[in-house]
Amino acid sequence: MSNQKSKDKQTSFNHILKYTGIFSIVQILNILMNIVRNKIAAIFLGPSGLGVLSLYNTASNLLNQTTNFGIPMSGVKHISEIHEIGDSHRLRDYACTVRSFSVLSGLFGVLVGFSVILFCYLHPGTGILPHINDFWNKLVLLAVVFLMSVTGGEMAILKGTKQLKSVTKVSLLMAFFTLLVCSPIFYLMGRTGIVWALLLSNVSYLWIHLHYSTRVLPYKLDFRSRSNLLRGIPMIKLGIGFIMAGLFGQGADYVIRMLILNSGSEADVGLYNSGYVIAVTYAAVIFTALEADYFPRLSASGNDVERQNVTVNRQIEVCVLLITPFLIFFVLAMPRLIPLLYSDKFVECIPMSIGAILFMFFRAFSLPIGYLALARGDSLMFMFTEIIYDLVVMLLIPYSYFNWGLLGTGLMLSFCGLLDFLMVFFLYRWRYSYHFSCQKLWMYIIQFILLSSAVYAGLYFTGWLRISTSILLFLISGTLSVYILSKETDFFTKLKQKFHKRDE
């Protein structure tokens, strides 16, 4: 019996490691293309231009998250349930429902956005997006919001029908077309072309999604059928909590940038955004498998508390083992990485990026635990935790920037990551009877000490002392991770066997 449990455990770890690796590699390829795009944008737009681009993106995401009724998430749940049954007729009908509501949500987003713009136009000085001075540019931004909503419906269909290969291709093609569209526009038009680059990029996103989703389910809309509209009500109800969470998340993000802008400049917003992207967005490649692979496995555990806890704790262990050496390498490479990704004008955000590295370490704990609410369909709990976290971040990040600059902002972001983990841990322990496994506590403590030491070295050591210390810490962390993973899985054994076969 113990041998069977050991075998099941090894199989589970093999599965987690395999799919985490696959999705991480895809995300890295995606990021490499985005790096080239950001490099071009940094050269032709500069820090202030990137600050404006960040404000545009944040504003359009905020409006989309507020008005899309959570369809990109709730649509996946309902389509996947019908797809699992194998009822092709119901699947076509529900795909029509998802697409119809996606179009309606897009039109609703345009209506809400136009109402706000019109109010701001009639009452100067009270408007949002003060740096989009041209009225027509604001209208173009509304078209972007509409395209985002429709694309979200097609994305839900691809994920719900488990077209993972298509999802991977779409992700890579989106990055490629963004580079292809934005580069010449930034070169020819500079800052004036930002909003048009966003529009054309989103047109290409929708076209790519339609190219793959219509192969699975033909495109159809129905706004007259009462049954079609009634089918969408449960989907909308499920998405309400996620709308509120998204609203607060995007709103907090926008408020932070506007507060930094008001106390600093567009260049400061650009530096903050660049530091955040380097430390958080790029480092999150390890977590890309959570939605595609981990979330369905966790959902399958249902109300089985023991199975649920085992699934969460194993995912945490793999995430920590993979991301810690990765983050130490980031600290080591940061002084070279930021000028490479952007330009020499962005070196001021290096301390912030290094200070924020521990945020991602704490996310390796909080994210797998946080998916419990999603797996249980408890949108209210998910909304509650997200709103509390957003409010804390919205207060502490600007405060740290005002008092301690970019370095203080990065360190405070790491502190917010710790607070988020503690909040999720205690709430979900009470709500879902989650219990953290202490078997690998020693390993988590060692990896935390190694990463904290790397952050200290990156901030306060210079020259060869910083480089040699970071390399040593990276080797220790990496060796520990490989040692534990080799004991828990046969992944490395299979890898060696493949190489030996090739040599023969």
Contact 156, 166 (CB under 8 A): no
Contact 268, 51 (CB under 8 A): yes
Total residues found in the chain within this entry: 504
CA 228, distance to chain mean position in Å, is: 32
What is the 8-class DSSP label of residue 356? T
* Angle (deg, nearest 10), helices 135-160 and 194-216: 20
Contact 48, 266 (CB under 8 A): yes
**Alpha-carbon span 189 to 44, nearest angstrom:** 9
Written as one string, the DSSP assignment of 109-163 is HHHHHHHHHHHHHHSTTS-S-TT---HHHHHHHHHHHHHHHHHHHHHHHHHHTT-
First and final CA of the chain: distance in angstroms? 38
CA-based max dimension of the chain: 76
Residue partners of 430: CB distance under 8 A and separation at least 6: none
**In degrees, to the nearest 5, what angle opens at C-alpha 80 toward C-alphas 319 and 313?**
20
Residue ranges covered by each domain of the chain: 39-239, 264-504
Reference 473, options 483, 458, 484; nearest CA is 458
pLDDT score at 76: 74
* Angle (deg, nearest 10), helices 71-85 and 226-263: 140
**Alpha-carbon span 504 to 487, nearest angstrom:** 27
Assigned token pair, 265: 């400049």
pLDDT score at 299: 66
* Average confidence (pLDDT) per 10 residues, the chain, 504 residues: 49 64 68 72 76 78 82 77 79 91 92 81 57 65 90 87 79 82 83 85 92 92 83 77 75 82 76 80 70 66 80 88 90 82 78 90 91 78 88 90 87 94 94 87 94 93 89 94 80 55 52
Contact 172, 179 (CB under 8 A): no
